[in-house]
């Protein structure tokens, strides 16, 4: 099977390796979509750090390891001794954290801070950037059928932010004023999680203009550029001198810890989400003078994974906006890791499509783009192919509430389906397609569908 293997700094290879055999209590997963994490970038630029050069205390593995710990997939095989309602073909998200189960942290229910802990895709030989991985059954979280596998790959990073938001659960209500320092992937995921909890006033402080735009699109009610504005002054003006009820530091630079302490209200809460690369000077009086509370969080737990899936299922969290590019496994370094290093301000999450199903990309994108943009609940998507792809088995299909009609070459439309009052909304360019038109029946478009080129949102 194919896999992206990490050998060390700047050395990731696409290789053919044996497919693993499922063991006792394990489930074999066929990964579908895999996100690239900041940790992956650090390993590529300066590692190995998290990837073990000596046997890991839990897995006993060493490099090379297969990358990928943010991933979704389908159940391919169920091993002996597995309990629970698992089914072959079932879609799922994978919780990649590893912990010993014996230390004081694990015994106290805080396995996310296990000192011997690690991750699938970093600390263990297997990872999501492969065509198969065997994992313990308790790491497999089935997802409802209406959640796409793309969105399911975002459960892991969203769980980090959900864990952070939950750390201040007693201080957060729909009427809270919340400030976030940093509009990177975790800061933006925190915006989505706060919206999922019903928070109405979300302020984001971010330097980069592109990320400021992302923050607005994700639902921030106010975005502040800290190089041109005094963040504390703006927050105090917005809150009639009180300050923010809760501040999340997702940036992890010296100015944001002081800024968090200045902008939070009396007896407010500051939550550190960032991982700091260097020690810094901190004056405890910044916290003492206000009797504010300073908390730190790390990773997530099962309860966070379940909560994110539940919120996605109800639509309270809509993570599709996080996806800024999809790439093939073979291009993981050039189009994925290097793109995030060299053009990080214009990306949130790049997903690797293990199956490289271009048609699924197209349907997913059109589903996101047309959702809520039409007054009719009856929509038709017409795809005209020069050559029919292997994934198509019939002339008609459905994708959500979209009826899909496939036209191959000179094929005649099915006379049994009558199309009336149709309106062509937009045409697209796409690999292998000669023509694509979104057609709606008995309705009108409120907003035009956005342009899309080769499956990538522009």
Task: Quick: pLDDT tens for 201-248.
Answer: 999 999 999 999 999 999 999 999 999 999 999 999 999 999 999 999
Could you say which DSSP state residue 130 is in?
A: B
Which range among 4-18, 124-138, 259-273, 400-414 shows the weakest confidence by mean pLDDT? 400-414
pLDDT category at 450 given cuts 50, 70, 90 is very low
Question: For the chain, what is the domain count?
Answer: 3
- Residue 89 within any structural domain of the chain: yes
Instruction: State the CATH number of the domain containing residue 74.
Output: 3.90.180.10
- pTM beyond 0.85: the answer is no
180 domain-assigned: yes
Judged on CB neighbours under 10 Å (0-12, 13-18, 19+), 61 is: middle
Q: Would residue 237 count as lying in a domain?
A: yes
pLDDT at 444: 34
Asked if residue 413 has pLDDT above 90, the reply is no
Average pLDDT of the chain to the nearest whole number: 83
Q: Does 304 map to a domain?
A: no
Domain with 443, as residue range(s), is: 358-457
User: How far from the centroid of its chain's Cα atoms is residue 443's Cα?
Assistant: 33
How much of the chain exceeds pLDDT 90, in percent?
73
Is the pLDDT confidence value at 97 over 80? yes
- 311 within domain boundaries: no
- Kindly state whether residue 375 falls inside one of the protein's structural domains: yes
In Å, how far are 191, 194, 372, 373 from 221, measured between CA atoms? 10, 12, 21, 22
Q: 155-167 and 185-196 are packed helices; what angle lies between their axes, rounded to 10 degrees?
A: 70
Same domain, 120 and 170: no
Same domain, yes or no, for 140 and 204?
A: no
Provide the pLDDT confidence category of residue 452 given band limits of 50, 70 and 90: very low
Q: Please tell me the least confidently modeled range out of 67-76, 133-142, 215-224, 353-362.
A: 353-362
* Whole-number pLDDT of residue 395: 47
Let me know: does 159 contact 304? Beta carbons within 8 Å: yes
pLDDT above 70 for 334: yes
Confidence at 356, pLDDT banded by 50, 70, 90: low
**Are 422 and 453 in the same domain?**
yes
* DSSP labels, 347-379: -SEEEEESS--HHHHHHHHHHHHHTTTBS-S-E
Instruction: Summarize pLDDT for 428-443 with one digit per residue, the tens.
Output: 333 444 444 444 333 3
């Amino acid at each position: 099977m194919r896999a992206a293997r990490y050998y060390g700094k700047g050395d990731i290879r696409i290789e053919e390796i044996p497919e693993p055999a499922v063991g006792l209590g394990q489930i074999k997963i066929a990964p579908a979509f895999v996100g690239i994490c900041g940790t992956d970038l650090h390993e590529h630029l300066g590692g190995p750090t998290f990837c073990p050069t000596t046997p890991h205390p839990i897995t006993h593995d060493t490099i090379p390891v297969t990358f990928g710990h943010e991933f979704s997939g389908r159940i391919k095989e169920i091993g002996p001794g597995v309990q629970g309602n698992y089914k072959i073909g079932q879609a799922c998200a994978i919780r990649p954290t590893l912990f010993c189960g014996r230390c004081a942290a694990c015994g106290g229910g805080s396995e996310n801070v296990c000192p011997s802990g690690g991750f699938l895709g970093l600390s263990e030989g297997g990872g999501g950037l492969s065509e198969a991985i065997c994992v313990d059954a308790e790491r497999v979280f089935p997802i409802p059928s209406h959640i796409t596998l793309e969105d399911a790959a975002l459960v892991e990073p969203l769980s980090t932010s959900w864990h952070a938001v939950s750390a201040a659960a007693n201080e957060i209500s729909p009427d809270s004023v919340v400030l976030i320092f940093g509009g990177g992937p975790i800061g933006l995921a925190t915006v989505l999680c706060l919206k999922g909890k019903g928070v109405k006033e979300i302020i984001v402080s971010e330097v980069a203009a592109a990320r400021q735009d992302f923050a607005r699109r994700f639902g921030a009610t106010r975005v502040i550029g800290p190089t041109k504005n005094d963040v504390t002054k703006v927050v105090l003006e917005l809150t009639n001198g009180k300050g923010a009820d809760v501040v999340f530091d997702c940036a992890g630079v010296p100015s944001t810890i002081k800024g968090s302490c200045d902008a939070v209200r009396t007896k407010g809460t500051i939550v550190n989400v960032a991982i700091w690369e260097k020690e810094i000077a901190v004056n405890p009086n910044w916290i003492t003078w206000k009797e504010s509370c300073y908390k730190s969080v790390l990773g997530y737990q099962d309860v966070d994974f379940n909560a994110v899936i539940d919120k996605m299922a109800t639509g309270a969290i809509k993570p599709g906006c996080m996806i800024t590019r999809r790439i093939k496994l073979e291009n993981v370094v050039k189009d994925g890791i290097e793109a995030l290093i060299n053009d990080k301000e214009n990306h949130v999450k790049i997903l690797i499509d293990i199956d490289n199903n271009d048609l699924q990309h197209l349907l997913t994108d059109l589903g996101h783009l047309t959702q809520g943009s039409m007054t009719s609940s009856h929509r038709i998507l017409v795809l005209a192919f020069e050559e029919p792809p292997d994934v198509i088995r019939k002339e008609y299909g459905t994708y959500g509430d979209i009826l899909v009609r496939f036209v191959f070459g000179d094929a005649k439309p099915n006379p049994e389906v009558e199309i009336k009052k149709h309106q062509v909304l937009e045409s697209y360019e796409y690999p292998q397609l000669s023509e694509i038109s979104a057609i709606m029946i008995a309705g009108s478009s409120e907003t035009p569908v956005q342009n899309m080129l080769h499956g990538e949102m522009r």
